[in-house]
Amino acid sequence: MIKSIAELNAVKESAAEVVKTRINCEDTGVKDVLICGGTGCDSSGSKKIVECLKEEIAKAGLQSKVNVITTGCFGLCARGPIMIVYPEGSFYAHASVDRIPEIVEEHLKNGNPVKKYLYEETVDGDTIKSLNDTAFYAKQQRVALRNCGVIDPENINEYIARDGYQALYKVLTSMSQDDVVNVMLASGLRGRGGAGFPTGRKWQLAKDLVKDADQKYVCCNADEGDPGAFMDRSVLEGDPHALIEAMAIAGYTIGANQGYVYVRAEYPIAVRRLQKAIDQAEEQGLLGDNIFGTNFSFRLGLRLGAGAFVCGEETALMTSIEGNRGEPRPRPPFPAVKGLFDKPTVLNNVETYANVPQIILNGAEWHAAMGTEKSKGTKVFAVGGKINNTGLVEVPMGTSLRTVIYEIGGGIPNGKAFKAAQTGGPSGGCIPPEHLDIPIDYDNLIAIGSMMGSGGLIVMDEDNCMVDIAKFFLEFTVDESCGKCTPCRIGTKRMYEMLDKITKGKATMEDLDKLEKLCYYIKDNALCGLGQTAPNPVLSTLRYFKDEYIAHVQDKKCPAAVCKDLLQFSIIKDNCIGCGMCAKKCPADAITRTDYIAPGKKLAAFEIDPNKCVKCGACMDGCKFKAIVKG
C-alpha cells in the first residue's frame, strides 16, 4: 500500500532502475525487447512472436540478459507487428516468427542488429538512426501518448517510474478544488471528444452549480464509435493508469467519489488492461478509501457498451450506464446539474483525461505554450485510408494537414493525387486540396465545413468518388441513429435515399437542391449531436466537389469510376493479346472473342457485351496487360 509521497518515490526509484534501459537508452548490460501488444499488432500475430522470442531466448541461454515486454501501440501501424530492442533502439518492422531465430542469434546474442529487418528509415549505411529522427516521429509531440510503446501497461510500477500518480498526490495534498480548476482553465485544454468544450469550465460547473448534492460522478467516454478511429483504445491499451489518475483528480475537483469508464465491448485488450490497472491501483491504495492518507476516497467501475455510435453523445452514454437503452436526453439540464442517475456529473473522453496529469505536473503555462491561440496543446489523430504511414499521430494543434499527410504520413501510395481528407468521422466534413495548409484546430476546421471530432483522419485520393463517400457515411449514420427524434430517424434515411439515387444516375438537379435544404433542416432540428452533424459529409462534398454531383446527375457518369450503376467496362482491342483470362474470370459470360487480331498479336481480341456485364470488375483484375478500362 502506498500512503505517502516517500513510499511513492521509493517505488518510482526502484522501477526507474528497471526501465532506464529503454527510457534513457542506458546500457545496463540487459536488453529490453518491446513488442507492440496493441490490437493492430495483436491481430497480426504479435502474441506468437512473443512466445517464439521467449523460446529462442531460452534456447540461447539469455534469460538473465534479455527482458521481453509487451507494450501498447508505437504509432506506426503500417509497419506492424513492431519490435524494438533497447538500449540501441533498433526498430524491427513487420516482425514475424520466422525472423526471430536470426534476430536472437545475431542481435541479442552477438550484438549485431539485423539491418535487413529494420525499419528502412532507421538504416543509414552503417549507422542506425534514432526513431525520433525518422519522418514519422520527428514532428510529433507526444503528451497523451507519452507512455504508449514505452512501458508495460500491465505493470503499475512502470507507470509510477514515469512520474505516475505524482499529480494525484500534488492535487490531494497541496491544491484546493479551485486551484485545480484554475490550472485547467489556464491550460486551455478543450475536450478531445469532438465538441472542444473547455475542460476547466466543465469541471467548474460540476463543482459549483449544485453544491449540496449528496452524490456526484465522474465519467469517461471510451466508446469511440467513429469509423477508423482508435486513439482512445490505444491509450487504454498502452497507458491505462493515466486515465485512472486523471479521473481521480477530476473526482477530487468536483467532489465525486465514484467514477465510471464506458468502454466498447469490442475492445477486449483495452478492457482487460484497464480492469487490471484498476485492480492494481486499488491494491496499492491509489484508488479506494483515504487515498494518500487524506480524507478523499474514489472508486472506478467499468461499463461495457454494445457498440452504439449514439452512445458517444454524453446523455445517451449516461442513460446506457444506468441500464437503459442508449438514447439522448434534451439539454438543459446539462450533466453538470443533472447527469448520471440525475446527479451532477463530469464527462470527458480518454484523450482529454490523458492530458490532465501532465498539466498538473508541468503547469498550465507548459500546456498553453503548445498549439494555437484558441486550441492549446496537442491532438492525437488516427490516420488511415489512402496514405503510406497509417497509424497514430500526435502533433501540436495548428499543425497543417499537409504536414500530417505528406511529412509524417509519407504521402499517398502509388504516386496518386490527394483528393480530400475526412476529419471528425461521420460527423465531420471532407477537406479539399486547397485547404491542405490550413492549421488544424477546432475553429479552423469548423470554418471550412468540417470538425475536429475525436481525431479520425481518413485520407482519400483521386480514385475516390466524393458522392460515394458521403453516401458511405450517411449509411453509417442511418444505421446508428437511435430513432428518438424524427429529423434524425427519418431525415437521414431520406438523405441516404437521395444520395443513392444520385449514384445510380437517376437524380435531377432539383434533387440536389432538395438534398441541401434537407441537410440544413436536420442540422437545425435534430435532438442530439449525431443528427445535428450527420449532414456534414454531404454539405462539405456539395461545397467542394459539386462538379462530381453534377456529373452524376447530368452526364450520368462517375468521374472516379466508382459508382457501379454508372460504370461501363470495355476492352482496348489493340492492347488485348487474346489470352482469354478475362473471359475465364467473368461470372456472367459477358466476354467473347472477336475476329479482330491487333497488330503484332497472334490471337483475336475479346470484347465485353454491356448488356450482360454485371460490372463486378473481375475481368479487369485478371488482365495483366491493361487492356480493360472502366469509365
- Greater pLDDT, 551 or 309: 551
Share of the chain above pLDDT 90, in %: 85
Confidence (pLDDT) at 397: 96
Res. 115: pLDDT tops 80: yes
Res. 261: pLDDT tops 80: yes
With CA atoms as reference, report the closest residue to 213 among 346, 349, 356, 347: 346
Query: Which secondary structure element, helix H or strand E, spans residue 356, and what is its range?
Result: helix 350-362
**Residues paired with residue 606 on neighbouring β-strands, in sequence order:** 593
Over residues 570-587, the pLDDT tens digits come to: 999 999 999 999 999 999
| CB 392, CB 75: distance < 8 Å | yes
Largest CA distance in the chain: 92
Res. 25: pLDDT tops 80: no
Domains of the chain, first to last = 18-131 (3.40.30.10), 164-367 (3.40.50.11540), 378-461 (3.10.20.600), 466-555 (1.20.1440.230), 567-630 (3.30.70.20)
> Which residues are CB-neighbours of 606 under 8 A, at least 6 positions away?
571, 576, 578, 580, 582, 583, 591, 592, 593, 594
Res. 194: pLDDT tops 80: no
> Which residues are CB-neighbours of 155 under 8 A, at least 6 positions away?
none
Find the angle CA(483)-CA(488)-CA(492) to the nearest 5 degrees: 115
Res. 110: pLDDT tops 80: yes
Q: How far apart are CA 193 and CA 195, in angstroms?
A: 6
Confidence (pLDDT) at 23: 79
Best mean pLDDT range from 203-207, 440-444, 530-534: 203-207
Long-range contacts of 596-599 (CB under 8 A, 24+ apart): 598/573, 598/574, 599/574
Confidence (pLDDT) at 279: 97
Task: Summarize the confidence of residues 277-301 as an average pLDDT.
Answer: 97
- Which one-letter DSSP state was computed for residue 432? P
For the chain, what is the total number of helices (H) and then of strands (E)?
26, 19
> Which residues are CB-neighbours of 44 under 8 A, at least 6 positions away?
80, 81
| CB 128, CB 134: distance < 8 Å | no
Find the angle CA(317)-CA(314)-CA(489) to the nearest 5 degrees: 80
Alpha-carbon distances, residue 535 vs 343, 453, 464, 489 (angstroms): 33, 14, 19, 13
How does the average pLDDT of the chain come out, rounded?
93
Confidence (pLDDT) at 452: 87
Res. 424: pLDDT tops 90: no
Best mean pLDDT range from 7-21, 130-144, 178-192: 178-192
SS3 of 491-551? HHHHHHHHHHHHHCCCCCHHHHHHHHHHHHHHHHHCCCHHHHHCCHHHHHHHHHCHHHHHH
Res. 170: pLDDT tops 90: yes
| CB 123, CB 129: distance < 8 Å | yes
Confidence (pLDDT) at 212: 87
Task: Summarize the confidence of residues 192-215 as an average pLDDT.
Answer: 92
Confidence (pLDDT) at 631: 81
Exposure letters 103-131 (e unless 16+ CB within 10 A, then b) = bbeebbbeeebbeebbbebbbeeeebeeb
- At 162, give phi and psi (nearest 5°): -100, 40
Over residues 487-537, the pLDDT tens digits come to: 999 999 999 999 999 999 999 999 999 999 999 999 999 999 889 999 999
Over residues 360-405, the pLDDT tens digits come to: 999 999 999 999 999 999 999 999 999 999 999 999 999 999 999 9
Dihedral-angle region of residue 600 (phi above 0 means left; psi in -120 to 50 means alpha; beta otherwise): left
| CB 300, CB 417: distance < 8 Å | no
pTM of the model: 0.92
> Which residues are CB-neighbours of 357 under 8 A, at least 6 positions away?
163, 164, 166, 167, 168, 242, 245, 246, 249
Residue 618: pLDDT band with limits 50, 70, 90: very high
Over residues 290-329, the pLDDT tens digits come to: 999 999 999 999 999 988 889 989 999 999 999 999 999 9
